[in-house]
Amino acid sequence: MTSEKKSTGWSAIRRRLNAQSKTSLLALVKDLYDASSSNRDFLHARVQAEAGDGTAVERYRRTIIEQFYPSRGFGKLKLVEARKAIRDYRRATGNLAGTIDLMLTYVENGTQFTREFGDINEAYYNSLESVLHEMTQLLRKEDPSLYPEFRERIQRLGDHADYIGWGYGDYLRDQVGLLETELAGE
């Protein structure tokens, strides 16, 4: 059984792909592109990120914002979809600045939504806190030099945290303060 598993794993696929011509590889990528919208999104993000024109991050940003503020109707708060957009972008591009930008977009829109419509539930705030925590960890450990690029937006988040329930406002202000102390030296 183990030999069956090994022959169908990535190594076997890789060996087969290495033997293929460029034309057949392009045909395979085209088939994958046509097979599902998630494949299309992944390929678009990868190619656009390599082009460096910023369009890849905008597609994912729209997906996040749409969960809070759809173009029609009321926000459905499909937080799983918004978080999936962040994960998919990161997996497709590996771009840390774009990932932090999308995480910040998620937290900004979630904070604004609760300010406009009132307290939500604990799970909602836990999700926002989780993304905020992950974002601060990326800034601290992966690339602190990115902090100035996002500093103003992060500070604005702290300013908008007043009177938000479930301890979220306090957590938000604490995280903003810690980032400011650690990364801006203030």
Q: DSSP letters along 130-184, please?
A: HHHHHHHHIIIII-GGGHHHHHHHHHHHHHT-TT-TTTHHHHHHHHHHHHIIIII
Q: What is the pTM of this model?
A: 0.84
Helices (H), 52-121: 55-68, 79-93, 96-117
Burial of residue 10, with CB atoms counted within 10 A of its CB: 0-12 exposed, 13-18 middle, 19 or more buried:
exposed
Task: Please report, in angstroms and rounded to a whole number, the separation of the first and last CA atoms in the chain.
Answer: 60
pLDDT of residue 27: 81
pLDDT of residue 26: 80
pLDDT digits (tens, 9 = 90+) for 159-169: 998 888 789 99
**What's the rounded Cα separation, in Å, for the pair 116 and 123?**
18
pLDDT of residue 19: 87
Instruction: Check whether 89 has a pLDDT greater than 80.
Output: yes
CA torsion through residues 123, 116, 105, 36, sign = positive
